[in-house]
Amino acid sequence: MKKLRLAITGMTACSGCQLSLLNCENELPDLLEKFDFSFFPLASSPLDLIGEYDASIVEGCVSMPHEKKLLLELRNRSRYLIAVGTCAVFGGVAALKNDEEREVLRKQVYGSSSIVESTFRPLPLNNLVQVDASITGCPPEKMELLRLLGGLLAGALPVDSDYPVCTECRIRENICLLTERGELCLGMLVSGGCHARCPSMAVPCEGCRGPLPEANLREALRIYAEKGFDRETVFARLRRFCPEWRL
């Protein structure tokens, strides 16, 4: 079988998603047998984009002109374009301040320095190009990344989950932090797949995997209000990983 040609790169983000893949040390030798990591700047010296790719795997959201150019280029050259990580899928922490003026933010961070590149409001990938599949998570689960790659070899793309973090939390028989302890856990509004990592360590879900497709926001807000959390507090928490949550 011919090796699959991959392009793996990041836009505005922390590189954590790409690192999650590089952290799969045990599987890396197998991956090298089956994939040609033709463009992977984080792992090897930057190369130019050459020819076509079976898949582009992209982390982060787009906030600079050169990123936009690279993304369009990758899209044009790839059979599949796959968004990996919450930033690429929903905006994530990179889009945390999307409601505020760019110019004000720029001044806060860089003062009057003029060497800063021009930036725009960070956008998730699907605002600019067609995305064939997404893997959410901040960072994504290693298992999901490996299954994505295995799937590509078999010609399949991953399926989206349609259950919340609460589902896996219940399967793990955790005491509910929201209903039993009155803590602000976002589990019921957030896409599952992390095996309820945080509530299983008695830490409320922060919502890092982004919104559940059919989240029942109205009812959730009612429960949160009952537990003493007003809308502003809940939305401030929700928007940390997805600025699209609206009152």
Partner 1 sequence: MLTRFISDQNLPDFMQKLRKFGGIEGPLRGEDGGVRFGNLSDGTTPDIHAIRTLLPAKKYLFAPEERLFNYTLQEGYKILLEDISPVTLFALHPCELAGINYLDRLLGGDAPDPHYAARRSQITLIGISCLPDEFCSCHISPSPLQALSDIFMNIVEGGFVVTVYSSRGKEIMEDMKDLAEERELPVPQDARRFFGVSLPLNVMSEIDTGLPEWQKLADRCLGCGACSLCCPTCACFNILEFAGLDGVSSERIRYWDNCLFKSHSMVAGGAVFNKGRAERFIYRYRHKQRGFGPLRGVPSCVGCGRCRAFCPIGLDLRVLTELLERSAV
User: Is 25 near partner 1 (CB under 8 A)?
Assistant: no
Q: CB of 216 within 8 A of CB of 200?
A: no
**Which sign, positive or negative, has the C-alpha torsion 197, 203, 209, 210?**
positive
Q: Does 216 bind partner 1 (CB under 8 A)?
A: yes
146 makes contact with partner 1 (CB under 8 A): yes
* Residue 4 near residue 35, CB atoms below 8 Å: yes
Cα(122)–Cα(143) distance, rounded to whole angstroms? Answer: 28
Distance between CA 176 and CA 182 in Å, rounded? Answer: 9
Residue 216 Cβ vs partner 1, minimum distance, rounded to whole Å: 5
- Pick the stretch among 59-67, 105-113, 216-224, 239-247 that binds partner 1 (CB under 8 A): 216-224
Query: Which amino acid would we find at residue 17?
Result: C
Interface residue with partner 1, options 42, 64, 153, 157 (CB under 8 A)? 153
Q: Left (φ > 0), alpha (ψ -120 to 50) or beta: where does 183 sit?
A: beta
Binding-site partner at residue 163 among ligand SF4, partner 1, none, CB < 5 to 8 Å by type: partner 1
Our finding on whether 34 is near partner 1 (CB under 8 A) is yes
Total residues interacting with partner 1, rule: CB under 8 A: 40
State the residues that interact with ligand SF4 by CB under 6 A.
165-166, 169-170, 174, 176-178, 185, 187-188, 190, 194, 196-199, 205-209
Minimum distance of partner 1 from residue 143's CB (angstroms): 9
C-beta of 245: minimal distance to ligand SF4 in Å? 14
Smallest gap, in angstroms, from Cβ of residue 116 to partner 1? 42
Residue 96 binds which one of partner 1, ligand SF4, none, with CB within 5 to 8 A depending on kind? none
121 vs 209, beta carbon nearer ligand SF4? 209
Question: With CB under 8 A as the contact rule, which of the stretches 58-66, 109-117, 219-227, 233-241 interacts with partner 1?
Answer: 219-227
Check residue 166 for interaction with partner 1 (CB under 8 A): yes
Residue number of the CB closest to ligand SF4 reads 187
Q: Does 75 bind partner 1 (CB under 8 A)?
A: no
Instruction: Tell me whether residue 11 or residue 205 sits nearer to ligand SF4 (CB atom).
Output: 205
| Nearest Cα residue to 42 out of 67, 86, 11 | 11
If the CB atoms of residues 98 and 161 are measured against partner 1, the closer one turns out to be 161
